[in-house]
Protein backbone atom coordinates (compact mmCIF):
# COMPACT_ATOMS: atom_id res chain seq x y z
CA UNK A 1 0.00 0.00 0.00
CA UNK A 2 3.05 2.25 0.25
CA UNK A 3 2.18 5.83 1.18
CA UNK A 4 -1.38 4.89 2.11
CA UNK A 5 -0.04 2.36 4.62
CA UNK A 6 2.17 5.04 6.18
CA UNK A 7 -0.78 7.44 6.43
CA UNK A 8 -2.97 4.78 8.03
CA UNK A 9 -0.24 3.90 10.51
CA UNK A 10 0.19 7.57 11.41
CA UNK A 11 -3.59 7.93 11.92
CA UNK A 12 -3.62 4.88 14.19
CA UNK A 13 -0.70 6.24 16.19
CA UNK A 14 -2.29 9.69 16.52
CA UNK A 15 -5.30 8.00 18.10
CA UNK A 16 -3.05 5.95 20.40
CA UNK A 17 -4.20 2.55 19.17
CA UNK A 18 -2.24 -0.32 20.69
CA UNK A 19 0.72 -1.62 18.62
CA UNK A 20 -1.01 -4.99 18.27
CA UNK A 21 -4.19 -3.32 16.99
CA UNK A 22 -2.17 -1.16 14.60
CA UNK A 23 -0.52 -4.20 13.04
CA UNK A 24 -3.82 -6.10 12.84
CA UNK A 25 -5.59 -3.22 11.07
CA UNK A 26 -2.70 -2.72 8.66
CA UNK A 27 -2.63 -6.44 7.84
CA UNK A 28 -6.38 -6.41 7.11
CA UNK A 29 -6.00 -3.37 4.85
CA UNK A 30 -3.04 -4.94 3.07
CA UNK A 31 -4.98 -8.15 2.32
CA UNK A 32 -7.93 -6.05 1.10
CA UNK A 33 -5.68 -4.18 -1.34
CA UNK A 34 -4.01 -7.43 -2.45
CA UNK A 35 -7.38 -9.02 -3.18
CA UNK A 36 -8.21 -6.33 -5.75
CA UNK A 37 -4.60 -5.61 -6.74
CA UNK A 38 -5.39 -1.90 -6.56
CA UNK A 39 -5.20 0.87 -3.96
CA UNK A 40 -8.20 1.01 -1.58
CA UNK A 41 -8.47 4.69 -2.52
CA UNK A 42 -9.83 3.60 -5.90
CA UNK A 43 -12.41 1.20 -4.46
CA UNK A 44 -15.95 1.89 -3.29
CA UNK A 45 -18.76 0.63 -1.10
CA UNK A 46 -19.66 -2.34 -3.31
CA UNK A 47 -16.01 -3.43 -3.43
CA UNK A 48 -15.71 -3.33 0.36
CA UNK A 49 -18.94 -5.29 0.79
CA UNK A 50 -17.94 -7.87 -1.83
CA UNK A 51 -14.60 -8.42 -0.10
CA UNK A 52 -16.25 -9.06 3.27
CA UNK A 53 -18.71 -11.47 1.63
CA UNK A 54 -15.68 -13.23 0.12
CA UNK A 55 -14.14 -13.61 3.58
CA UNK A 56 -17.30 -15.24 4.91
CA UNK A 57 -18.26 -17.42 1.96
CA UNK A 58 -14.89 -18.38 0.50
CA UNK A 59 -12.45 -18.04 3.37
CA UNK A 60 -14.93 -19.22 6.02
CA UNK A 61 -13.86 -16.39 8.31
CA UNK A 62 -15.12 -16.51 11.88
CA UNK A 63 -17.30 -13.72 13.28
CA UNK A 64 -14.33 -12.39 15.25
CA UNK A 65 -12.11 -12.32 12.14
CA UNK A 66 -14.83 -10.60 10.14
CA UNK A 67 -15.30 -8.04 12.91
CA UNK A 68 -11.58 -7.20 12.82
CA UNK A 69 -11.71 -6.69 9.04
CA UNK A 70 -14.82 -4.52 9.32
CA UNK A 71 -13.11 -2.40 11.98
CA UNK A 72 -9.99 -2.03 9.82
CA UNK A 73 -11.95 -0.96 6.73
CA UNK A 74 -14.10 1.45 8.72
CA UNK A 75 -10.97 3.05 10.13
CA UNK A 76 -9.24 3.16 6.74
CA UNK A 77 -12.12 4.83 4.92
CA UNK A 78 -13.37 7.02 7.76
CA UNK A 79 -10.10 8.41 9.08
CA UNK A 80 -7.33 7.86 6.54
CA UNK A 81 -9.20 8.28 3.25
CA UNK A 82 -11.93 10.61 4.55
CA UNK A 83 -14.68 8.67 2.77
CA UNK A 84 -16.94 7.38 5.57
CA UNK A 85 -19.82 6.84 3.13
CA UNK A 86 -17.96 3.83 1.69
CA UNK A 87 -18.34 1.85 4.92
CA UNK A 88 -21.38 3.54 6.46
CA UNK A 89 -23.76 0.74 5.44
CA UNK A 90 -21.47 -2.12 6.51
CA UNK A 91 -22.95 -3.70 9.66
CA UNK A 92 -20.96 -4.91 12.63
CA UNK A 93 -21.07 -8.72 12.69
CA UNK A 94 -22.72 -10.41 15.63
CA UNK A 95 -20.07 -12.29 17.59
CA UNK A 96 -21.46 -15.21 19.55
CA UNK A 97 -20.97 -14.84 23.30
CA UNK A 98 -19.29 -17.96 24.67
CA UNK A 99 -18.56 -18.96 28.22
CA UNK A 100 -14.86 -19.00 29.11
CA UNK A 101 -13.03 -22.11 30.25
CA UNK A 102 -12.38 -21.99 33.99
CA UNK A 103 -9.72 -23.94 35.88
CA UNK A 104 -10.55 -25.36 39.28
CA UNK A 105 -8.35 -24.45 42.24
CA UNK A 106 -6.75 -27.90 42.11
CA UNK A 107 -5.98 -27.46 38.40
CA UNK A 108 -4.41 -24.05 39.04
CA UNK A 109 -2.17 -25.54 41.74
CA UNK A 110 -1.10 -28.38 39.43
CA UNK A 111 -0.42 -25.93 36.60
CA UNK A 112 1.68 -23.55 38.72
CA UNK A 113 3.70 -26.47 40.13
CA UNK A 114 4.49 -27.53 36.56
CA UNK A 115 6.03 -24.15 35.63
CA UNK A 116 9.65 -25.02 36.27
CA UNK A 117 11.41 -21.79 35.25
CA UNK A 118 11.20 -19.29 38.11
CA UNK A 119 10.66 -16.29 35.82
CA UNK A 120 7.67 -17.86 34.10
CA UNK A 121 6.27 -19.16 37.37
CA UNK A 122 6.38 -15.61 38.74
CA UNK A 123 4.62 -14.37 35.59
CA UNK A 124 1.94 -17.09 35.75
CA UNK A 125 1.32 -16.46 39.44
CA UNK A 126 1.06 -12.73 38.74
CA UNK A 127 -1.59 -13.28 36.07
CA UNK A 128 -3.67 -15.67 38.17
CA UNK A 129 -3.11 -13.76 41.42
CA UNK A 130 -4.10 -10.36 40.01
CA UNK A 131 -6.19 -10.98 36.89
CA UNK A 132 -3.81 -8.94 34.74
CA UNK A 133 -3.85 -9.32 30.97
CA UNK A 134 -0.70 -10.81 29.45
CA UNK A 135 0.37 -7.47 27.94
CA UNK A 136 -0.15 -5.72 31.28
CA UNK A 137 1.93 -8.37 33.05
CA UNK A 138 4.77 -8.16 30.53
CA UNK A 139 4.93 -4.37 30.87
CA UNK A 140 5.03 -4.29 34.68
CA UNK A 141 7.80 -2.08 35.98
CA UNK A 142 9.99 -2.77 38.98
CA UNK A 143 8.53 0.31 40.65
CA UNK A 144 4.95 -0.87 40.12
CA UNK A 145 5.21 -3.38 42.98
CA UNK A 146 4.24 -1.63 46.22
CA UNK A 147 4.96 -4.25 48.87
CA UNK A 148 4.33 -1.83 51.75
CA UNK A 149 0.73 -1.15 50.69
CA UNK A 150 0.14 -4.59 49.23
CA UNK A 151 -0.68 -3.21 45.78
CA UNK A 152 0.44 -3.48 42.16
CA UNK A 153 0.09 -0.40 39.97
CA UNK A 154 -1.15 -1.36 36.50
CA UNK A 155 -0.21 1.43 34.11
CA UNK A 156 -1.75 2.18 30.74
CA UNK A 157 -4.11 -0.77 30.71
CA UNK A 158 -6.79 -1.36 28.11
CA UNK A 159 -8.19 1.93 26.75
CA UNK A 160 -5.33 3.73 28.52
CA UNK A 161 -6.68 3.21 32.04
CA UNK A 162 -4.48 2.91 35.14
CA UNK A 163 -5.65 0.85 38.10
CA UNK A 164 -4.46 -0.90 41.26
CA UNK A 165 -4.75 -4.60 42.01
CA UNK A 166 -3.97 -6.56 45.14
CA UNK A 167 -0.52 -8.00 45.84
CA UNK A 168 -1.01 -11.41 47.43
CA UNK A 169 1.45 -12.49 50.13
CA UNK A 170 2.23 -15.69 48.22
CA UNK A 171 2.88 -13.72 45.05
CA UNK A 172 5.14 -11.28 46.90
CA UNK A 173 7.27 -14.17 48.18
CA UNK A 174 7.73 -15.53 44.65
CA UNK A 175 8.51 -12.08 43.24
CA UNK A 176 11.14 -11.56 45.93
CA UNK A 177 12.65 -14.96 45.14
CA UNK A 178 12.67 -14.05 41.44
CA UNK A 179 14.25 -10.65 42.20
CA UNK A 180 17.04 -12.17 44.27
CA UNK A 181 17.78 -14.76 41.58
CA UNK A 182 17.74 -12.49 38.51
CA UNK A 183 18.18 -8.85 39.61
CA UNK A 184 16.50 -7.29 36.52
CA UNK A 185 18.78 -4.57 35.14
CA UNK A 186 16.23 -2.41 33.31
CA UNK A 187 13.02 -0.78 34.42
CA UNK A 188 10.87 -3.78 33.49
CA UNK A 189 10.17 -6.44 36.08
CA UNK A 190 10.06 -9.16 33.43
CA UNK A 191 12.53 -8.09 30.77
CA UNK A 192 13.05 -9.87 27.46
CA UNK A 193 16.29 -10.71 25.70
CA UNK A 194 17.23 -7.05 26.16
CA UNK A 195 17.08 -5.39 29.56
CA UNK A 196 15.34 -2.31 28.13
CA UNK A 197 12.50 -4.31 26.55
CA UNK A 198 9.70 -6.28 28.23
CA UNK A 199 9.33 -10.00 27.70
CA UNK A 200 7.30 -10.94 24.63
CA UNK A 201 3.74 -12.17 25.28
CA UNK A 202 4.29 -15.10 22.90
CA UNK A 203 7.13 -16.36 25.10
CA UNK A 204 4.71 -16.34 28.03
CA UNK A 205 2.02 -18.15 26.04
CA UNK A 206 4.50 -20.83 24.99
CA UNK A 207 5.66 -21.39 28.58
CA UNK A 208 2.05 -21.68 29.73
CA UNK A 209 1.22 -24.25 27.04
CA UNK A 210 4.24 -26.34 28.02
CA UNK A 211 3.38 -26.20 31.73
CA UNK A 212 -0.25 -27.15 31.08
CA UNK A 213 0.91 -30.17 29.07
CA UNK A 214 3.40 -31.14 31.78
CA UNK A 215 0.63 -30.91 34.38
CA UNK A 216 -1.53 -33.22 32.29
CA UNK A 217 -4.40 -30.74 32.07
CA UNK A 218 -7.04 -31.55 29.49
CA UNK A 219 -8.40 -28.00 29.50
CA UNK A 220 -6.74 -25.44 27.26
CA UNK A 221 -4.71 -23.00 29.37
CA UNK A 222 -3.88 -19.49 28.15
CA UNK A 223 -3.05 -16.20 29.89
CA UNK A 224 -6.67 -15.10 29.48
CA UNK A 225 -7.97 -18.31 31.01
CA UNK A 226 -5.87 -17.55 34.09
CA UNK A 227 -7.58 -14.14 34.16
CA UNK A 228 -11.02 -15.74 33.78
CA UNK A 229 -10.22 -18.19 36.58
CA UNK A 230 -9.08 -15.35 38.85
CA UNK A 231 -12.38 -13.51 38.37
CA UNK A 232 -14.55 -16.61 38.77
CA UNK A 233 -12.73 -17.75 41.91
CA UNK A 234 -13.15 -14.28 43.42
CA UNK A 235 -16.87 -14.38 42.69
CA UNK A 236 -17.20 -17.84 44.22
CA UNK A 237 -15.37 -16.56 47.28
CA UNK A 238 -17.98 -13.85 47.77
CA UNK A 239 -16.22 -10.80 46.29
CA UNK A 240 -18.64 -8.14 45.05
CA UNK A 241 -19.01 -7.84 41.26
CA UNK A 242 -18.17 -4.13 41.37
CA UNK A 243 -14.86 -4.88 43.05
CA UNK A 244 -14.09 -7.55 40.44
CA UNK A 245 -14.95 -5.02 37.71
CA UNK A 246 -12.39 -2.57 39.09
CA UNK A 247 -9.71 -5.24 39.51
CA UNK A 248 -10.16 -6.46 35.94
CA UNK A 249 -10.27 -2.95 34.50
CA UNK A 250 -13.62 -3.48 32.80
CA UNK A 251 -15.29 -0.35 31.49
CA UNK A 252 -18.76 -1.83 31.93
CA UNK A 253 -20.25 -4.02 34.66
CA UNK A 254 -21.98 -5.98 31.88
CA UNK A 255 -18.62 -7.41 30.85
CA UNK A 256 -17.99 -8.57 34.41
CA UNK A 257 -21.39 -10.17 34.90
CA UNK A 258 -20.48 -12.91 32.42
CA UNK A 259 -18.68 -14.62 35.31
CA UNK A 260 -21.97 -15.15 37.08
CA UNK A 261 -22.87 -17.47 34.18
CA UNK A 262 -19.88 -19.74 34.71
CA UNK A 263 -19.73 -19.83 38.50
CA UNK A 264 -21.46 -22.98 39.72
CA UNK A 265 -21.04 -21.86 43.34
CA UNK A 266 -22.66 -18.50 42.61
CA UNK A 267 -25.61 -20.17 40.91
CA UNK A 268 -25.86 -22.75 43.68
CA UNK A 269 -26.15 -20.05 46.36
CA UNK A 270 -29.13 -18.49 44.62
CA UNK A 271 -32.43 -19.42 46.26
CA UNK A 272 -35.19 -20.63 43.95
CA UNK A 273 -38.56 -18.87 44.43
CA UNK A 274 -40.04 -22.36 44.87
CA UNK A 275 -38.24 -22.64 48.21
CA UNK A 276 -39.56 -19.24 49.26
CA UNK A 277 -43.25 -20.01 48.80
CA UNK A 278 -45.10 -20.46 52.08
CA UNK A 279 -42.36 -18.78 54.13
CA UNK A 280 -41.95 -15.29 55.55
CA UNK A 281 -39.65 -14.44 52.65
CA UNK A 282 -42.54 -14.87 50.21
CA UNK A 283 -44.12 -11.52 51.16
CA UNK A 284 -42.46 -9.51 48.35
CA UNK A 285 -43.85 -12.01 45.83
CA UNK A 286 -47.41 -10.93 46.63
Span 11-65, pLDDT tens digits: 999 998 988 899 999 999 999 999 999 999 999 999 999 999 999 999 999 999 9
Residues 136 and 22 in one domain: no
Instruction: Please give the pLDDT value at position 69.
Output: 97
Catalytic residue among 158, 163, 258, 266: 158
- Is 227 an annotated catalytic residue? yes
Largest Cα separation within the chain, whole Å, is 74
Task: Taking residues 145-174, report their average pLDDT.
Answer: 90
Say which CATH number the domain at 74 has: 1.10.150.130
- Cα–Cα nearest to 73, from 113, 46, 94: 46
Residues 218 and 191 in one domain: yes
Catalytic residue among 25, 32, 128, 259: 259
Residues 203 and 242 in one domain: yes
C-alpha pair distances (Å), 118 with each of 143, 170, 178, 180, 197: 20, 14, 6, 11, 19
- Asked whether 156 and 150 are in contact (CB, 8 A), the reply is no
Instruction: Please give the pLDDT value at position 276.
Output: 61
Could you tell me the pLDDT band of residue 284, with boundaries at 50, 70 and 90?
low
> How many beta carbons lie within 10 A of that of residue 206, not counting itself?
12
Task: Assess whether pLDDT exceeds 80 at residue 266.
Answer: no
Residues 136 and 194 in one domain: yes
- Is 224 an annotated catalytic residue? yes
Residue span of the structural domain in which 25 resides = 3-86
- Is 250 an annotated catalytic residue? yes
Residues 6+ apart with CB under 8 A from 32: 40, 48, 51, 69, 72, 73, 76
Residues 112 and 205 in one domain: yes
Catalytic residue among 83, 224, 258, 266: 224
Catalytic residue among 74, 119, 121, 227: 227
- Is 158 an annotated catalytic residue? yes
- Is 128 an annotated catalytic residue? no
- Cα–Cα nearest to 199, from 141, 128, 116, 252: 141
Amino acid sequence: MGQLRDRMLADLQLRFYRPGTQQAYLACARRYAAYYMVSPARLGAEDARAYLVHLVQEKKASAATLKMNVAALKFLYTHTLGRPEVVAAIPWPRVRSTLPVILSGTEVEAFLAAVRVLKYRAIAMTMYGTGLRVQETCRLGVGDIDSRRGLIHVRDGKRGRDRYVMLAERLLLVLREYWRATRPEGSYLFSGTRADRPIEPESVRRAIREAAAAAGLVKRVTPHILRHSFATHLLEGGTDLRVIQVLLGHGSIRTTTRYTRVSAAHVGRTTSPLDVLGTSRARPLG
